[in-house]
Amino acid sequence: MLFGLLSVLIVLVVLATGLMLKLGSDSRRMSVSVGVVEGRLIACSSTPNCVSSDASPEDSHYIDPITDPTGSKWAGLVETVRGMPGATLIEQHDDYAHFTFTTGLWRFVDDVEFHHRPQAAEIAIRSASRVGRSDWSANRNRLEAIRAVL
Give how many domains the chain has, as a whole number: 1
10 Å CB burial of residue 26 (0-12, 13-18, 19+) is middle
Q: What is the pLDDT of residue 23?
A: 56
Domain harbouring 22, CATH code = 3.30.310
Share of the chain above pLDDT 90, in %: 70
Bridge-based pairing state of the strands 50-52 and 122-129: antiparallel
CA distance 44 to 60: 10
Domain of residue 42 covers 2-149
pLDDT tens digit string along 20-58?
A: 555 555 655 667 889 999 999 999 999 999 999 999 999
Put simply, whether the predicted model's pTM sits higher than 0.75 gets the answer: yes
